[in-house]
Amino acid sequence: MNNHAQPTTLVIFGASGDLTQRKLIPALFSLYKKELISAETRIVGFARRPWDHAQFRAVLLDGMRQFAPKLLDAAVWETFAENIFYSQGDLGTPADYDHLQALLAQLEGKPTNRLYYLATGPEYFAPIIQQLGVRRMDEEDPAHWCHMVIEKPFGHDLASALELNREVQAVFREEQVYRIDHYLGKETVQNLLTFRFANTIFEPLWNRNYVDHVQITNAETVDVGHRAGYYEKSGVVRDMFQNHLLQLVSLTAMEPPATFNAKALRDETVKVLHAISPVQLRDTVWGQYRKYRDAEGVALGSRTPTFIAIKLFVENWRWQGVPFYVRSGKALAERTTEITLQFKQVPHLLFPDNTSLNPNRLSICIQPDEGIHLTFETKIPGGGMRSKSVDMDFHYDDIGEHTLPDAYERLLLDALKGDASLFTRSDGIERAWQLVDPLLQAWARGEGPSLAFYESGTWGPTEAEQLLARDGHKWMLGCGDG
Ligand code: BG6
């Protein structure tokens, strides 16, 4: 059912929210400009604000000016906006779904492909799905598909994720459901697959025989800002680790799939999640930047972590004994997301001039300076055999790609085309929760290490350094110009 070029109606629930303006509309507009989606793609926003079609269009245009000014093209916008509509409604009021259904029928006139986008708070996911189900608005026919994209967070623990999956699957078939993890839409994350499986020279080394350990750093300079209300209940483990970071671990550690399709790919990433052994509390560091408690909406004495560092193991033939150190935090010194494989030390120090050598390192730079860096030893010119580490690097800029498409562009297009490869399957979500649930529960009971505070603009608590120092390692940053 890949007839995405046919007219399609995209219904956005929660259309007055930030995500619609910041991400969805710029992504759709960009796809429209590139003629990657049908010119007849209709967008119908559903939200509570008392707007009409014209007001909604004006709000979206404002959003484009603010968030995607470079993309905006007034003439193209004019035709694009002709296909934007608005249905005022309350997510909890059944009659408002009747109005929506009537508007869709009026606009479409005949069966049409549909994509529902749930960009609301998670508490509305189940009610929306039920209302769609009651009205059989999930139905497909041989000529038309109906897909649904669900934003994160998908549950706040294993039990709620299982429940939500039950509610989703009571109405939609799994093949109709696209659970978004925007990290999978990033070019550089997908490039991990190309790098590993479109080259012969790296994959033979990609295992316990050559890799000493793996580090994944996700650092943000921003703090929680005005999202403290949400963040206070979520914290970094739910906000970043359970989803984005475990996806990065999976793609780094997965076996090559036999074919490049959604099932094969997701089978392999889920296998990695199953191979991760339960994380020990002593292998975790929970941090909070000092000013966090001053933010509005944060409880006095809050223990919500804004930083986490975890050592975990993927217990399988390929990775047995290789630690994966993963850290993520807000209000840190630099914005960077990178994956580094540190290779083993040479087995024998041949050159007496060097008392030690730096092991080789390969860094996959997810953002912001997208690229790949490989460090190796080279001889310092002159007498003797002293050596130093040098960096062989590739930046996306080098191939003229200064601006990579936003993750949402790719993901929306895939959801329209019916390609679920870069979306999370129900079993993957459930397994990820299964891994973090015991940690969150222990943390809530006050077990494990105490909360480690850190100053904004640093690399997090010193305990995170100690986590690696215990094993004789240091956190490394392998991206940027360095
Ligand atoms: C979101 C989190 O999923 O990812 C945010 O809710 C976080 O807290 C964001 O800032 C990071 O995304 P990116 O693409 O900027 O790394």
- Give the ligand 1 atom nearest the CA of 220: 10
* Cβ neighbours of 258 (radius 10 Å): 9
User: Ligand 1 pocket: which of 240, 332, 410 to mutate (most atoms <8 Å of CB)?
Assistant: 240
Q: Is the CB of 220 under 6 A from ligand 1?
A: yes
Confidence of residue 482 (pLDDT cuts 50, 70, 90): very low
Cα of 419 vs centre of ligand 1, distance in Å, is: 23
User: Residue 258: CB partners within 8 Å, gap ≥ 6?
Assistant: 264
Mutate to test the pocket of ligand 1, among 237, 244, 304, 404 (most ligand atoms within 8 A of CB): 244
Record the tokens describing residue 276, joined without a space: 């991760």
* pLDDT tens per residue across span 138-176: 999 999 999 999 999 999 999 999 999 999 999 999 999
pLDDT in tens, 211-237: 999 999 999 999 999 889 899 999 999
User: What pLDDT is attached to residue 481?
Assistant: 63
User: How many angstroms separate the CA atoms of 54 and 44, rounded?
Assistant: 12
Contact 294, 447 (CB under 8 A): no
Q: Which of 148, 165, 239 shows the shortest CA–CA distance to 427?
A: 165
**At 146, is the secondary structure helix, strand, or coil?**
strand
Tens digit of each residue's pLDDT (9 = 90 or more) over 379-396 = 999 988 999 999 999 998
Q: What is the dihedral of CA 204, 209, 211, 212, to 10 degrees?
A: -170
Query: Under a CB-based contact definition with an 8 Å cutoff, are residues 22 and 67 in contact?
Result: yes
- The CB-side HSE value for 403 (13 A sphere, CA atoms) comes to 7
CA of 259 to the centre of ligand 1 (A): 30
The answer to whether residues 341 and 195 touch, using CB atoms and an 8 Å cutoff, is no
The residues, any chain, with a CB within 8 Å of residue 292's CB and separated by 6 or more, are 223, 224, 228, 298, 302, 304, 306, 331
**How far is 234 from 101, CA to CA, in rounded Å?**
34
Residue 93: band (very low, low, confident or very high) from pLDDT cuts 50, 70, 90: very high
Percent with pLDDT over 70 in the chain: 98
Q: Whose CA is nearest to atom 5 of ligand 1?
A: 239
Q: Report the alpha-carbon distance of residue 138 to residue 231 in Å, rounded.
A: 32
Q: How far apart are CA 146 and CA 137, in angstroms?
A: 8
What is the pLDDT, as a whole number, of residue 346? Answer: 92
Q: What is the pLDDT of residues 30-47, one digit of tens each?
A: 999 999 999 999 999 999
- Reply yes or no on whether the pLDDT at 80 is more than 80: yes
**Cα–Cα distance measured from residue 395 to residue 369, given in angstroms and rounded to the nearest whole number:** 7
Q: How far does the centroid of ligand 1 lie from the alpha carbon of residue 330, in Å?
A: 10
Place of tokens 């994944």: 216
pLDDT class of 399 with cuts at 50, 70, 90:
confident
Q: Average pLDDT, whole number, for the chain?
A: 95
Which residue's CA lies nearest to atom 14 of ligand 1? 183
- Position 355 scores a pLDDT of 75
**Is the Cβ atom of 239 under 6 angstroms away from ligand 1?**
yes
C-alpha of residue 108 to centroid of ligand 1, in Å: 35
Q: Confidence class of residue 5 from pLDDT cuts 50, 70 and 90?
A: low
Nearest residue to 350 (alpha-carbon basis) of 391, 374, 392, 384: 384
| Reported confidence tier of residue 404, pLDDT bands at 50, 70, 90 | confident
Separation of CA 341 and ligand 1 centre (Å): 23
Beta bridge partners of 285: 309
pLDDT at position 1, please? 41
d(CA 254, CA 318): 9
Active-site residues, by number, are 244
Site to probe by mutation for ligand 1, drawn from 67, 220, 307, 406 as the one with most ligand atoms within 8 Å of Cβ, is 220
**pLDDT tens by residue, 447-474:** 989 999 999 999 999 999 999 999 999 9
Kindly give the distance from the C-alpha atom of residue 210 to the centroid of ligand 1, in angstroms, as a whole number. Answer: 32
Helices 25-33 and 53-67: angle between axes, nearest 10 degrees: 90
Which residue's alpha carbon is nearest to atom 13 within ligand 1? 183
Percent above pLDDT 90 for the chain: 91
Residues, the chain = 482
Find the mean pLDDT for residues 101-117: 96
Segment 313-338 mean pLDDT: 98
Residue 234 CA: which ligand 1 atom is closest?
6
Q: Ligand 1 atom 9: the closest Cα is on which residue?
A: 240
- Average the pLDDT over 389-416 and give the result: 89
Q: Is the CB of 406 under 6 A from ligand 1?
A: no
Q: Quick one: tokens of 269?
A: 């990433």
- Checking if the pLDDT of 55 tops 90, the result is yes
Look at residue 314 and give its three-state secondary structure: strand
With 50 as the cut, is the pLDDT of residue 412 above it?
A: yes
CA distance 160 to 361: 40
Sheet of 113-118, strand order:
84-88, 42-47, 8-13, 113-118, 146-150, 177-179
Q: Which two tokens stand for residue 432?
A: 């990820």
Atom of ligand 1 nearest to the CA of 152: 3
Please state the atom number of ligand 1 nearest to the C-alpha of residue 239. 6
Across 423-446, average pLDDT: 97
Q: Average pLDDT in the 333-353 region?
A: 93
Q: Mind listing the pLDDT tens digit for each residue in 238-253?
A: 999 999 999 999 999 9
Separation of CA 184 and ligand 1 centre (Å): 12
Tell me if residue 291 falls in helix, strand or coil.
helix
